[in-house]
Structures are given as C-alpha cells and as structure tokens.
Amino acid sequence: MKFKNNAKLAVIGCGAVTQNFYIPAIKSLGIKPLFFVDKNIKSAQACAKKFKGAIGVASIDEILNDFSEAIITLPNTLHHPFAMKLISHNKNLLIEKPISVSSVESKEIHEIAKKNGVSVICGNMRRQLRSAQFVKNIINNNILGDVTSFKCREGGIFNWPIQSESFWYKEFSGGGVLLDTGSHTLEQIIYHLGVPNELIYYDNQIDNVESDCIIKFHYNNFKGSLQLSRTIGLDCRFFIEFENGKIIFDLIGNKIDMYCSEQLKEKANYSNFKQNNQSYDDLISKQIDQWYKLISNEDATNVVTTKEAHEVMKIIDFCYNNRNEIQL
C-alpha cells in the first residue's frame, strides 16, 4: 500500500498501551513512525529509540506541520481536545477507545472529521476477530433465525500494567469499567445486534468511578443483559439465543460453541472456522492496516467509524445519567 509505505505517523501517548501493543503492531506492519509524543519526554524518547530515525518530543506543537496521521493513546479525558486540535489541522487519526468521555465530545469529533474530510476511526479492534465476523455473517444471513435473547459478561480482578494512576481518577479516566471495558463490549453488542430501544443501568459507583455494572437491554423482539466487573472473574463470553439454535463465543478470542442442527452448522461453514486465538498485536495491526486503507481511499473493513463510536458514547452517557444501585 503506497500510503502506508510513505507513512508520516506520530504516536501521541507513550504509556502501557503504546508500549505493549501499538509498538509491536506498528513494527509488524513495517511502518516507521516519525515521532513519539508524551509530556514525559523520557517515555517519548524511549519509544522513539525502537525505530530508526524516530524522534521523541514533549509536545505536538513542536511537530504539528511535520506529520499527516496520528495514533492517540492518551488518558481518556485528553482524547477530545487532542483530536479536535489535530483534525482542525487536517490530520488523519486512530483514537484509542473510548473515542471520548461524553457523547457531546464524540459528536464534535464526528462532525469536524466529516467537515474536514479526514479519516478518523476509534480503536475498537475486536471487530478484527474472526469470531466476530463469523457471528456477524450468521446474523446477517439469518442462518439460525431471529435473535430471541442474549447475555454478555466480561470481567476480572483489575491488574493492568499501567504506567500511571490515570485509570483510578475520573479527571483522567472519565469513568470506570463501563467507559473502559464497556466501550469495547457495547460496540460488540451494537455491531451484532444494533442499537437498543431501551436500557436500564445499575452500578456501584464510588467517587464517580464504578468497578461493577449491569445493563439490561430491550429491543423490539428480544431482551438481553451485559455485566462488567473489575472485582470478580467473569467468563468474557457473548451468549446469543436464536429461534433455531444458540451461539456462545469469546469476546476477546476465537472460540465459538454452536448449538444447532448439523445442517445449519454446515450452512454456516462452522467446521472450517479456525478457533485459534489472535493476539492483541495482531488485532491492532489489522486495525491499523485497515485505517491506512481508509486513508488511501481503498475499501476498508471492520473499522469503527466516528459515527459508530458516537452511538457507543450515547449509551454510556445515558447509563451514567440514569444510575440505579447495583444488585449483584
């Protein structure tokens, strides 16, 4: 891809997400970033050393005219101000999820990106999972009939290898498990089932940051639920009941259990589905590759647009504004 081979990339934010996932993904694609940006100049320089010719700087103002696209992996509350500034300078962006910390902010990002004609996507890379695409095909082609119910669970005791305390303070994180993990899981629910008609939300908010929450969903012809946690181990799977069967699949992997007739399994091509897992590096590299296709005006698949990310933020806003005490 010509554009990717001539990338003028800046990576903005040099914490754990960049170090553990984006740098390996960028390397796997053969992209050579020009700049790494972080107010902690030592972190920026340490990341830059991993790429020949890259430079670490403390501020985007030093390099604003020297790059054309950027990956933003800053604390959540900084996504919006940095995105607005960069889009106003016609930069193409990949913004790590969540795209912002409110639907007001996500709407502004969507509108300015559309106005300026730049390619901006949100870093919900789970659409790159083969399992997500397999299940999406089953639903789109009505192979098991209509959806009748669903439940989704994701959680575990929080032990992220963070480089800062930004996850624990709302002024940096913007919220708790709903905004952090939920921005992934809600996107997966919307991707497969669409936007719900009604929601009921429960959490255990302490100091404006929740560690556990439950959402009950109401669609026209079925209901479902989502449970998220940072305090208990959950199975991290998506259960969908259909008229003619059931599918259970991993939220962050490729294991799929399909319960239906052999004829329907054959129609879905289940026996040929590869259940081996994909690494986060692989998912992120596929996401970056599709972003560069979008920038190059080529067909891009399974990227989360600013419009779709805004739908996720509208649900999160509704939940935070309509809290009920959790009942686990």
Query: Which pLDDT tens digit goes with each residue over 12-50?
Result: 999 999 999 999 999 999 999 999 999 999 999 999 999
**Mean pLDDT, rounded, for 65-91:** 97
What are the b/e assignments for 64-92, b being 16+ CB within 10 Å?
A: eeebbbbbbbbbbbbbbebbeebbeeebb
Q: Are residues 217 and 268 in the same domain?
A: yes
More confident residue, 7 or 192: 192
**Mean pLDDT, rounded, for 83-103:** 98
Q: Are residues 67 and 131 in the same domain?
A: no
Q: Are residues 143 and 273 in the same domain?
A: yes
Cα 304–Cα 307–Cα 309 angle in degrees, nearest 5: 55
pLDDT at 236: 95
- The residue type found at 274 is K
- The residue type found at 223 is K
Q: Are residues 181 and 103 in the same domain?
A: no
Looking at every residue in the chain, the average pLDDT score rounds to: 93
Cα 12–Cα 15–Cα 20 angle in degrees, nearest 5: 105
Query: Which pLDDT tens digit goes with each residue over 132-155?
Result: 999 999 999 999 999 999 999 999
Of all residues in the chain, the percent with pLDDT exceeding 90 is: 85
- Which range, of 50-59, 182-191, 272-281, averages the lowest pLDDT? 272-281
The token duo for 224 is 């479902």
Q: Are residues 117 and 235 in the same domain?
A: no
Q: Is the peptide bond before 161 cis (omega within 30 degrees of 0)?
A: no
Q: Are residues 191 and 122 in the same domain?
A: no
Nearby residues of 46 by Cβ (< 8 Å), 6 or more positions away = 14, 56
Q: Are residues 55 and 175 in the same domain?
A: no
pLDDT at 158: 72
Output the domain CATH number for residue 89.
Answer: 3.40.50.720
Q: Are residues 70 and 194 in the same domain?
A: no
Output the domain CATH number for residue 203.
Answer: 3.30.360.10
Whether the per-residue pLDDT at 163 is higher than 50: the answer is no
Whose tokens are 């799977």? That residue is: 237
Query: Which pLDDT tens digit goes with each residue over 267-298?
Result: 999 999 988 888 888 999 999 999 999 999 99
Query: Which pLDDT tens digit goes with each residue over 95-129?
Result: 999 999 999 999 999 999 999 999 999 999 999 99
Q: Are residues 169 and 219 in the same domain?
A: yes
Q: Are residues 94 and 108 in the same domain?
A: yes
Q: Are residues 150 and 266 in the same domain?
A: yes
pLDDT at 156: 87
More confident residue, 165 or 20: 20
Whether the per-residue pLDDT at 170 is higher than 80: the answer is no
More confident residue, 126 or 326: 126
pLDDT at 147: 98
Whether the per-residue pLDDT at 220 is higher than 50: the answer is yes
By residue range, what is the domain housing residue 40?
A: 2-126+285-302
Q: Are residues 55 and 110 in the same domain?
A: yes
What's the length of the chain?
Answer: 328
Distance CA 76, CA 38 (A): 14
The token duo for 235 is 């199975």
Are 227 and 153 in contact by the 8 Å Cβ rule? The answer is yes
- Number of separate domains in the chain: 2
Q: What are phi and psi of 283, to 5 degrees?
A: -65, -45
- The residue type found at 162 is I
Are 300 and 290 in contact by the 8 Å Cβ rule? The answer is yes
Side-chain half-sphere exposure of 114, counting CA atoms within 13 A: 9
pLDDT at 179: 95
